[in-house]
Amino acid sequence: MNCDELRDHYELYTLGFADDPELSEIRAHLERACPTCVPGVRGARELITLIGAAAASVEPPARLRKRVLASVGGQTASRWNWSPVWAAVAVAALVAAAVFDIRAHRASSELTQASAELAQVQAESAAQTRALARLNQAFAILNQPNVKQVIFGGGAPQPPRGRIFLDPARGVLLLASNLPPAPAGKTYEMWVIPKATGSQPVPAGLFQSASDGTAIHVLPGPVDVAGAAAIAVTIERAAGATVPNLPPVFAAGL
């Protein structure tokens, strides 16, 4: 097909609505850097993007900037402090932030994702019950004032990333991202690695990551945090293992 015949399909392609043969033709034109179709589709993407930008203008809460920057370890100074109004907003945001734990914010984001996953399995009451129990266990761990927190995955190019929360009485909570779904017939297994020489890794439960690479796993109940050297995750057969399959997908030192 020539470019004139494809012109009316650029926006449909950008929205994901193009059907064959136009879909295949546009892809082929883009692959060969067609001087007509590349700018044509680019213009279509501009149009579609502007639809998104046309959503009713809403001022985000001032605390959101601090929260976003805190999540990447950034500074949180406001750029709006030239205005007394904005200064007042900034002060209010700082006061709010002081009483609102950023760590709980991030965990809440992950748990929101888990809640969304839960909605997908509402028809399966048993699975729903298990998921609710997991969330309750996660909240129970997060709510402990002296919970130990470990961040893992920084530095490597595309590592699994996340946080591990440990409470001696309540257990271990793992929040991870960049964790691709385990291969067919396999599962992820968490391990508590003891400090004591000669001690074997302790199995800490099986879990799967979501399709977007996020995962939440809870090991409920008492755990010897003081005697643990690391938390590790391995890929095991679906039934799990009693001895870890090395090397681990990741290990977080405590």
Partner 1 sequence: MLLLPLLLAIEFGESDPDLVRRLQRRDPRAMAELYDRYGRLVYALILRVVRDGGIAEDLVQETFLRVWNRVQGFDAERGGLGPWLLAVARNRAIDYLRSAAGRMRNSVELPETEHPALFCDMEKELLNSDRVRRVRVALEKLSQNHRAVIELAYFEGLSQAEMAEKMGEPLGTVKTWVRTALKSLRDELGTAVSA
| Cα angle 217-218-220, degrees, rounded to a multiple of 5 | 165
Looking at the Cβ atoms of 225 and 249, the one nearer to partner 1 is 249
With both helix axes pointing from N to C terminus, report the angle between 102-120 and 62-71 in degrees, rounded to the nearest 10.
90
Q: How far apart are CA 191 and CA 196, in angstroms?
A: 15
Tokens of 178: 């960049």
Q: Which of 2, 4, 20, 56 binds partner 1 (CB under 8 A)?
A: 56
User: If 0-12 CB within 10 Å is exposed, 13-18 middle and 19+ buried, where does residue 26 land?
Assistant: buried
Check binding of 43 to partner 1 (CB under 8 A): yes
Question: Residues 151 to 190: which contact partner 1 by CB under 8 A?
Answer: 157, 161, 177-178
> What are the backbone angles phi and psi of residue 175, rounded to the nearest 5°?
-120, 120
Half-sphere exposure of 38 (CA within 13 A, CB side): 6
Contact status, residue 207 vs residue 134, Cβ threshold 8 Å = no
Binding mask 199-228 for partner 1 (x = CB under 8 A): ------------xx----------------
User: What's the min distance (Å) between Cβ of 57 and partner 1?
Assistant: 6
Query: Residues 6 or more apart from 131 whose CB is under 8 A from it?
Result: 114, 117, 118, 121
Check binding of 98 to partner 1 (CB under 8 A): no
Residue 132, Cβ neighbours under 10 Å: how many? Answer: 12
Check binding of 73 to partner 1 (CB under 8 A): yes
Check binding of 104 to partner 1 (CB under 8 A): no
Check binding of 122 to partner 1 (CB under 8 A): yes
- Contact window for partner 1 (CB under 8 A) among 39-47, 131-139, 164-172, 241-249: 39-47
Q: Which of 2, 4, 20, 75 binds partner 1 (CB under 8 A)?
A: 75
User: What's the min distance (Å) between Cβ of 45 and partner 1?
Assistant: 5
CA torsion 98-152-106-170 (nearest 10°) is -90
Check binding of 15 to partner 1 (CB under 8 A): yes
User: What's the min distance (Å) between Cβ of 10 and partner 1?
Assistant: 8
User: What's the min distance (Å) between Cβ of 163 and partner 1?
Assistant: 13
SS3 105: helix
Interacting residue ranges for partner 1, rule: CB under 8 A: 8, 11-12, 14-17, 30, 38, 41-61, 64-65, 67-69, 71-75, 77, 79-80, 83, 85, 105-106, 108-109, 112-113, 116-117, 119-120, 122, 157, 161, 177-178, 211-212
